[in-house]
Amino acid sequence: MALAIEEFDARMEDDLIALSLKAWAPVFSEMEPAVPSYVFRAFYPDGWARRQSQDVRRLIQGGEVRVLSALEDGCLVGFVGLKFHPEDRMGEIHILAVDPDFQRGGIATALMTEACRRLKAEGADIVMVETGGDPGHAPSRAVYEAFGFERWPVARYFKDLSSGAEG
């Protein structure tokens, strides 16, 4: 099978949404118990799948993020969204997903390679990617670290204000 990486075709929007849900189902199942429940409920009040579908649909329709598709024999097996920030000469890997049936076959690496190539061609000197520190995102972190990304220590804190405690 030959892997092709191409500009996203809007006719594949539903396939891309379905792939993102399939790829992130195991991530969310491991992430949910690892974060405070009030945080998970705040981000996903109607469930993670609904929010994920909405967010990915907005992303591919919004035009700010360039989406590349990974196709094997014409079938969508992965995608990456990239964005160039000219003010910082920085590229951003905004989103990355590979169909679980095709993971660990080099597709994420191929997508990352092509995304970095295109961002460099646009003028990026550095590339950034963000992911979760929870157990569900461990495979993502492994991909980024294997690709040569260095982790930047960031702390993100949440406080539940709905319980009435303000101090």
Q: Averaged over 39-43, what is the pLDDT?
A: 87
Look at residue 61 and tell me whether its pLDDT is greater than 70: yes
Quick one: pLDDT at residue 5?
Answer: 96
Model pTM score: 0.85
CATH number of this structure's domain 3-146: 3.40.630.30
Quick one: pLDDT at residue 40?
Answer: 85
Quick one: pLDDT at residue 153?
Answer: 81
- Which residues are paired to 97 by β-bridges? 79
Mean pLDDT of the chain: 87
Quick one: pLDDT at residue 167?
Answer: 58
* pLDDT band (50, 70, 90) for residue 1: low
Q: Averaged over 143-152, what is the pLDDT?
A: 84
Quick one: pLDDT at residue 16?
Answer: 94
